[in-house]
């Protein structure tokens, strides 16, 4: 029977890693993989996380199962950062559970939405490829609208049109901040409008907050999520700690459910717990426990936030340098200076992306998406010159 399985295409980014690793050129540049890198090209463990891990080694007295809901102290410790200190409990209408990364959270969120009767997910494109893959695996239809205009601005008209055509069995999936892959985020005024449109359309919002703190700051990056939640009766919020705590391989995430009334939460969460049990049974403990330790200790919290500020500042410096270069060949790099997070799209054709790789040793996704943290003050001039070369 297993011989009936059909060959599946290889993941393009994973294939890019292998190509980069096999390239013998000393000055090669990896702009594909979505992890933060320092100015020296490293992806370090946060010092605050290291300190928390030392505490765990000394104090943790059991590795027993936590249950499908995971470490609830971790889940609750994150809530003030996601929902705000004054509205952390939203009148008892929000409850959460731990998940393996943001992907695990999205998987459960979308599966819960389907169980609730949702049939279609409205998604701005381009989007993170796994959004569509998870929807397809669950049998959810994807309705696309353009996230941004050709001029590099959010396309609010397209979003409004999509919501205007929405039906009662539709949900909308929105990036909370640091849009992947474009880096083009909604302004506060646009989030105000989005909250109104979502409430008016009576669709279920699914909010993907995977990069909080990497855009404009922890509070600023939560504005959109909080604004939408105030406007609607129900919502799902998918959260990832992989980027803003540097816990990529530990897979640390959470799913939050907001109900119209607190009495509905136990029934809703029972579905989340059952889906988790059927998928991974229990989430991994270590990374979430380390985050819990960081957030429980004022000194470690301050250290973590300082490290996050340094990450954000370095990416801002890279974006400023790209923007200052202006036009490289036929490409205007100026808009990258006003974008947020790890990613941006450089408007290159697939042939030009291939030429960047083969001629210059610069590895990036076929869509032109780059991880700006892969650029340093030592290699950014080479990147700008390469873009000019392949497009000039």
Q: Which pLDDT does position 91 carry in this prediction?
A: 74
Fold held by 65-296: 3.40.640
Q: Across residues 54-74, what is the average pLDDT?
A: 95
Asked if the model's pLDDT at residue 224 lies above 70, the reply is: yes
The domain spans of the chain are 11-45+309-391, 65-296
Q: Are 261 and 101 in contact (CB under 8 A)?
A: no
pLDDT confidence of residue 17:
87
Quick one: pLDDT at residue 282? 94
From the candidates 30, 71, 155, 208, give the one annotated as an active-site residue. Answer: 208
Hey, which bits of the chain come out as E strands?
29-30, 94-100, 120-125, 141-146, 170-175, 204-209, 235-240, 252-258, 327-328, 331-332, 343-345, 362-363, 369-371
Nearest Cα neighbor of 261 from 115, 114, 91 is: 91
Entry pTM: 0.95
- Please report the pLDDT score of residue 16 as a whole number: 87
Query: Helices 188-201 and 223-231 meet at what angle, rounded to 10?
Result: 30
- State pLDDT tens for residues 14-31: 788 889 999 999 999 999
pLDDT at 90: 72
pLDDT of residue 89: 55
CA distance 69 to 54: 25
Out of 10-14, 68-72, 97-101, least confident range: 10-14
pLDDT at 287 over 60: yes
Q: Quick one: tokens of 373?
A: 């943290």
Question: Same CATH fold, 65-296 and 11-45+309-391?
Answer: no
What share of the chain in percent tops pLDDT 70? 99
Residue 9, pLDDT > 90, answer: no
The answer, yes or no, to whether residue 291 has pLDDT greater than 60, is yes
Which tens digits make up the pLDDT trace of 165-204?
999 999 999 999 999 999 999 999 999 999 999 999 999 9
pLDDT surpasses 70 at 292: yes
Give the pLDDT of residue 88. Answer: 53
Of the chain, the percentage scoring pLDDT greater than 90 comes to 93
pLDDT per residue as tens digits for the range 329-370: 999 999 999 999 999 999 999 999 999 999 999 999 999 999
Nearest to 251 by CA among 103, 33, 69, 367: 103
User: What residues contact residue 389 under an 8 Å CB cut-off, 6+ apart?
Assistant: 329, 359, 360
The confidence score (pLDDT) of residue 15 equals 84
Catalytic (active site) residue 243: yes
Measured CA to CA, the distance from residue 113 to residue 167 in angstroms comes to: 14
Catalytic-residue membership of 128:
yes
Give the per-residue pLDDT at 329.
95
The DSSP bridge pattern shows strands 369-371 and 343-345 to be: antiparallel
Show the tokens assigned to 80: 């003030």
**What's the CA angle centered on 185, arms 181 and 188, to 5 degrees?**
165
Cross-strand pairs, 96:
256
**Confidence (pLDDT) at 250:** 96
The domain at 11-45+309-391 falls in which architecture?
A: Alpha-Beta Complex (3.90)
What is the side-by-side strand order in the sheet with 120-125? 94-100, 252-258, 235-240, 204-209, 170-175, 120-125, 141-146
Choosing from 191, 243, 285, 321, the catalytic residue is: 243
Closest CA to 211 of 34, 71, 12, 17: 34
**One of 30, 71, 128, 304 is an active-site residue; which one?**
128
* Residue owning tokens 């979430």: 288
């Amino acid at each position: 029977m297993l011989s009936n399985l059909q060959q599946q295409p290889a993941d393009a980014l994973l294939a890019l890693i292998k190509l980069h690793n096999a390239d013998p050129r000393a000055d090669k540049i990896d702009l594909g993989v979505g992890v933060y890198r320092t100015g020296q090209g490293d992806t370090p463990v946060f010092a605050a996380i290291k300190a928390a891990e030392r505490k765990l080694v000394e104090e943790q007295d059991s590795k027993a199962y936590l249950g499908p809901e995971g470490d609830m102290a971790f889940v609750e410790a994150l809530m003030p950062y996601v929902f705000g200190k004054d509205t952390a409990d939203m009148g008892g209408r929000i409850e959460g559970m731990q998940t393996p990364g943001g992907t695990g959270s999205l998987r459960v969120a979308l599966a819960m939405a389907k169980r609730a009767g949702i049939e279609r997910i409205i998604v701005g494109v381009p989007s993170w490829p796994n959004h569509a893959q998870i929807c397809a695996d669950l049998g959810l239809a994807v309705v696309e609208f353009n996230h941004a205009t050709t001029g590099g601005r959010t396309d609010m008209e397209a979003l409004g049109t999509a919501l205007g055509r929405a039906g009662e069995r539709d949900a909308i999936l929105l990036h909370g901040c640091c849009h992947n892959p474009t880096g083009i985020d909604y302004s506060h005024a646009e989030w105000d409008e989005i909250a109104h449109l979502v409430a008016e359309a009576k669709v279920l919002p699914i909010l993907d907050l995977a990069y909080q703190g990497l855009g404009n700051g922890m509070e600023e990056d939560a504005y959109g999520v909080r604004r939408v939640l105030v406007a609607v009766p129900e919502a799902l919020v998918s959260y990832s700690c992989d980027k803003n705590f540097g816990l990529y391989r530990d897979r640390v995430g959470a799913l939050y459910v907001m109900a119209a009334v607190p009495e509905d939460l136990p029934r809703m969460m029972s579905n989340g717990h059952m889906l988790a049990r059927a998928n991974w049974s229990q989430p991994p403990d270590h990374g979430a426990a380390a985050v819990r330790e960081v957030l429980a200790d004022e000194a470690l919290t301050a250290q973590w936030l300082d490290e996050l500020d340094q990450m954000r500042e370095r990416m801002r410096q890279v974006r400023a340098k790209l923007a200052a270069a202006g036009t490289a060949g036929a490409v205007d790099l100026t808009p990258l200076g006003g974008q947020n997070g790890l990613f941006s799209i450089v408007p290159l054709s697939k042939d030009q992306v291939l030429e960047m790789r083969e001629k210059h040793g610069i590895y990036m996704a076929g869509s032109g998406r780059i991880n700006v943290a892969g650029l340093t003050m030592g290699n950014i001039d080479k990147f700008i010159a390469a873009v000019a070369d392949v497009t000039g």
